[in-house]
Structure 1
């Protein structure tokens, strides 16, 4: 049996009510029996982003009923967006310590965001003991880098996360995903890092040591669209996130993603998203409020209650 806790606005990502509105949030959750973090999280509609979770001690319980399973030390889990969340310390274990990263992926990561072993939107990869230290250190490096206060802390943390995802795909024994050409990945990173600039394909090609024609061919072959169309996709994706997670004026967001003319930005956004930036922000706020209202947390009842 469980006590229900009502969500409140929270600045600590380990406690109920924290709003995951950033590109990336990372941490370590040390759950011990009867401790302050010993509760089950219940998000019936999941989250907007992905969560990677690595058990480093004890066991966790994921889901309930017939779908329930325990994750043990060395289990790497990947929660897909909008996958229902119900998890906490396994009743059969006195602890569950797990590292985690919540993130909004870069577009070119799409092929790396699923494990072959999946239950109801939660992928599972069991790491052999020899690899657990490596993955533990990667999780810790992502958290420490993101919290470092360095000038490019978020970008550096995202780069480390990219490495973590690639290592997971590499170690998934049933994965047949083909990792993209490193020069295409580097081109994507370069464009993303200069999203507000009108970078020409010749400049990107020079950066990745290819001719413009070879880069154009390779990029379309592996990404499915040309580089300029892909950049526009990234600008709209970034604008959507900023509209959802900040109160920046729409004109400022437009400039931040490469559109100095607010009217042109609004036209591009409406064409891609179907609504204006202001309508998108309003609808996102309404949807977020409804989602938070349905989140619950449950603390196990003690034996004498």
Structure 2
């Protein structure tokens, strides 16, 4: 299916504005020399989530410190969290049109986000086969279209399409895709996410995957880089942030729904991860999105 550029323009910064306090944000950015979008995006501290983009036409350039990375049509880029960067149209090209998705990954995606080629901390993959080029473009478009829709299950459909896109990109990594996470760790992560409000007992988790508690703790830290408790805490705060953005629940109810019976302790943990307490986070989110005090938008819908 050939992408309709006129339809894609509905998802560009020419038509709408974007903020990034959401699980997923996506769009199409057409840049031509001297246009209103012809400037470098500068993120000296990187982003909290990942950005993946696909160049449709022309060339772009990313700057990391004194170094540069160029990319052109059918090049995929993956910007991991915290990687400082500037990017925009390459000065030698008349255009840089690209599709992009910003996202906070589901925990079991992390191993699929390790690409073979990594330049200046940025993953890069060139897609040469026409069939694969078309398939990736369609997946990008599916994510963008669902992410901009207000229909029931649109966010779930966008995340589903994004997972298929991430897998398709991972299949292009002949080295990395042979080193996936231990499936027992994936099973533990899935269980923790499905029971996020429950007390954590490592012994129970270990028995589920037929490991000793110490062996599970070792494998978990080795695969994900953090302890089971630290990982679960991050997932709880991620879930709380999403609920603040997308529901009318009071803060103490949100705290309970993610497993914190003490609102004061929840506020302390939330501040540790976000720099501000949950009530202030809610006010800033509403102000950023021009929302009345008791109205919230579905995350990702701008």
- Give the TM-score, by structure 2 length: 0.68
Given the alignment of the two structures, is residue 19 of structure 1 paired with residue 19 of structure 2, yes or no? yes
More relative contact order, 1 or 2 (CA 8 Å, 6+ apart): 1
Shift of 1:52: 0.3
- Judging changes above 3 Å, is the alpha-carbon distance between structure 1 residues 67 and 213 closer, same or farther for their aligned structure 2 residues? closer
CA contact (8 A) 2:39 2:88 kept: yes
Distance 2:54 2:275 in 1: 39
Indicate how the Cα distance of structure 1 residues 91 and 277 shifts in structure 2: closer, same or farther if over 3 A, else same.
closer
Is the Cα contact below 8 Å between 2:59 and 2:93 reproduced in 1? yes
Q: 1:234 aligned to 2:239?
A: no
What is the deviation of 1:232? 5.0
- Offset of residue 102 of structure 1: 0.4
Residue 48 of structure 2 is matched in structure 1 by: 48
Within 5 Å, give how 1:104-253 maps onto structure 2.
104-130=104-130, 131-180=132-181, 188=189, 192=193, 195-196=196-197, 212=208, 223=220, 231-239=232-240, 249-253=250-254
Moved more, 34-43 or 227-236: 227-236
Give unmatched runs, 5+ long, in structure 2: 1-10, 289-302
CA RMSD after TM alignment: 4.3
1:78–1:114: 8 Å Cα contact kept in structure 2? no
Q: CA deviation at 1:223?
A: 4.5
**Separation of aligned partners in 1, 2:246 and 2:174:** 37
1:89 paired to 2:89: yes
- TM-score (ref. length: structure 1): 0.67
Change (3 A) 1:137 1:162: same
- The answer to whether the 8 A contact 1:59-1:71 is kept is yes
After superposition, the Cα gap between the structure-2 partners of 1:73 and 1:215, relative to the gap in structure 1 and judged at 3 Å, is farther
User: Does the residue aligned with 1:22 lie in a helix, a strand or coil?
Assistant: coil
Residue in structure 1 matched with residue 277 of structure 2 by the alignment:
278
Residue 255 of structure 1: CA displacement?
3.1
Aligned length: 266
Cα distance in 2, alignment partners of residues 90 and 274 from structure 1: 36
1:33: Cα distance to partner?
2.2
CA deviation string 1:229-279 (max 9, x = no partner): 865552133235667999975313213424455356457x38x95899738
CA distance in 2, matches of 1:191, 1:112: 20
Q: How much does 1:75 deviate?
A: 0.7
Question: Which consecutive unaligned segments of at least 5 residues does structure 1 have?
Answer: 1-11, 205-210, 290-305
Contact 2:59-2:71 within 8 A present in 1 as well:
yes
Give the SS at the match of 2:171: helix
Distance in 1 between residues matched to 2:220 and 2:138, nearest whole Å: 31
